[in-house]
Amino acid sequence: MQATAHVDFIVAAYAAAIVIVGALIGWVLLDYRTQLRRLADMEKRGFTRRSATERTGPTAEKAKADA
């Protein structure tokens, strides 16, 4: 069996795998940045995370009154 007979297929398979993995990594990075932006926007509007310590003051009181 000659190794050179299938070199084109092997190179194409590796290239496709590299492109697909690269695209997935890029997609995850873009989604991560989008989620950070959304979270920062929500926190700016007064929403808090359940894991965060409870805030006191006008923002917390206003949020409770709106609920």
Residue 2 above 90 pLDDT? no
The better pLDDT of the pair 12, 60 is held by: 12
Structure tokens at 4: 């050179």
Mean pLDDT (whole number) for 18-38: 97
Q: What is the pLDDT of residue 49?
A: 75
- Residue 34 domain boundaries: 3-66
Cβ contacts of 6-15, under 8 Å, gap ≥ 24: none
Count the domains in the chain: 1
Distances (CA, A) of 14 to 20, 30, 36, 40, 60: 10, 24, 33, 39, 54
Q: Using one digit for the tens of pLDDT, what is the confidence trace for 38-63?
A: 999 999 998 887 776 665 556 666 66
- What Å distances lie between residue 9 and 14, 15, 58, CA to CA? 9, 10, 65
DSSP 8-state class, residue 3:
G
Indicate whether this model's pTM tops 0.95.
no
Mean pLDDT of the chain: 84
